[in-house]
């Protein structure tokens, strides 16, 4: 079973997303083990301090070395980790091939930074992979950590049923998905494409392929070019 350890100074932020829906179910049915660690409990400071002013001045506080080194050190004594991931905006952007690779790991640590950043020595000595979830800045690594967890967990064996297979996802073939519809076939005068109710599976497959190409070309010309060039 895959094990994910998440280290955070604000573990309250992680509660909801880990306890419900697909990730919550995957945990309950023991397809994944997710353990959240409150960084403050590792601080040797009597007030549980985990940050301090930056050397050289500047705005904001920086996460200190001691609690993080102690926390990751004690986890590493228990088991071997294939990756220590630090979500940060100054890193390569997460994509589906990266998620696919990460989901094959046995044990990973996700270290959530907060405030202005974390002491560079943590990044140099402990972090093995830095990932951004996009070109915008969030106030901490907790939401990016949840995005990483959700994207990995849904790929684990037995987490999604056949009907919801991740192989059909947008991005798994480098294209966005075709539009989908469900009952009723007519809603306030709005119909659904006739082909989808035709029962002709080959024509439906071709229609979906065409719509996927169309949608990708319109909204993500960068993905479209990659797809065409790879063919
Ligand atoms: N922390 C703050 N902003 C982030 C981003 N865009 N990606 C990953 N981690 C972050």
**Is 163 a member of any domain?**
no
Are 24 and 83 within one domain? yes
CATH number at residue 136: 3.40.1280.10
Say what the pLDDT of residue 56 is.
96
Are 147 and 204 within one domain? no
Are 191 and 102 within one domain? no
Which residue's alpha carbon is at the smallest distance from atom 7 of ligand 1?
Answer: 132
pTM of the model: 0.94
Are 16 and 121 within one domain? yes
**Is 73 a member of any domain?**
yes
Are 149 and 174 within one domain? no
Q: Is the CB of 137 under 6 A from ligand 1?
A: yes
Question: How far apart, in whole angstroms, are the C-alpha atoms of residue 76 and residue 84?
Answer: 10
Residue where a domain terminates, one of 113, 128, 153:
153
pLDDT in tens, 53-75: 999 999 899 999 999 999 999 99
Model confidence band, residue 161 (pLDDT cutoffs 50, 70, 90): confident
Say what the pLDDT of residue 168 is.
75
Range with lowest mean pLDDT among 31-45, 136-150, 151-165 = 151-165
* Minimum-distance ligand 1 atom for the alpha carbon of 139: 2
Say what the pLDDT of residue 165 is.
73
Number of separate domains in the chain: 2
Residue where a domain terminates, one of 128, 153, 178:
153
Which residue's alpha carbon is at the smallest distance from atom 10 of ligand 1?
Answer: 88
The answer to whether the CB of 87 falls within 8 A of the CB of 144 is yes
Q: Is the CB of 117 under 6 A from ligand 1?
A: no
Residue 175: φ, ψ to 5°: -120, 160
The answer to whether the CB of 6 falls within 8 A of the CB of 110 is yes
pLDDT in tens, 86-134: 999 999 999 999 999 999 999 999 999 986 799 999 999 999 999 999 9
Are 91 and 122 within one domain? yes
Are 179 and 138 within one domain? no
**Is 159 a member of any domain?**
no
Q: Is the CB of 133 under 6 A from ligand 1?
A: yes
For residue 57, give its domain range: 2-153
pLDDT, the chain, mean: 95
Say what the pLDDT of residue 163 is.
63
CATH number at residue 223: 1.10.1270.20
**Is 25 a member of any domain?**
yes
Model confidence band, residue 231 (pLDDT cutoffs 50, 70, 90): confident
């Amino acid at each position: 079973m895959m094990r994910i350890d998440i280290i955070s100074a604000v573990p309250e932020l992680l509660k909801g997303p880990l306890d419900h829906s697909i990730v919550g179910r995957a945990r309950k049915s023991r397809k994944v083990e997710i353990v959240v660690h409150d960084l403050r409990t590792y601080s040797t400071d009597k007030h549980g301090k985990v940050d301090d002013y930056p050397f050289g001045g500047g705005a904001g506080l920086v996460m200190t070395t001691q609690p993080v080194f102690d926390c990751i050190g004690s986890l590493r004594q228990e088991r071997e980790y294939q990756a220590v991931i630090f979500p940060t905006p100054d890193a390569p952007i997460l994509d589906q091939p990266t998620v696919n690779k990460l989901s094959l790991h046995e044990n990973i640590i996700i270290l959530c930074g907060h405030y202005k950043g974390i002491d560079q020595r943590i990044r140099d000595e402990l972090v093995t992979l830095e990932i951004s979830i996009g070109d915008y800045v969030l106030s901490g690594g907790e939401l990016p950590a949840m995005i990483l967890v959700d994207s990995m967990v849904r790929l684990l064996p037995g987490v999604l049923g056949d009907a919801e297979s991740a192989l059909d996802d947008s991005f798994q073939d480098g294209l966005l998905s075709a539009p989908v519809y469900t009952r009723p076939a007519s809603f306030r005068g709005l119909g659904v494409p006739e082909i989808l109710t035709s029962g002709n599976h080959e024509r439906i497959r071709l229609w979906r392929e065409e719509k996927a190409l169309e949608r990708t070309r319109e909204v993500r010309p960068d993905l479209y070019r990659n797809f065409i060039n790879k063919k």
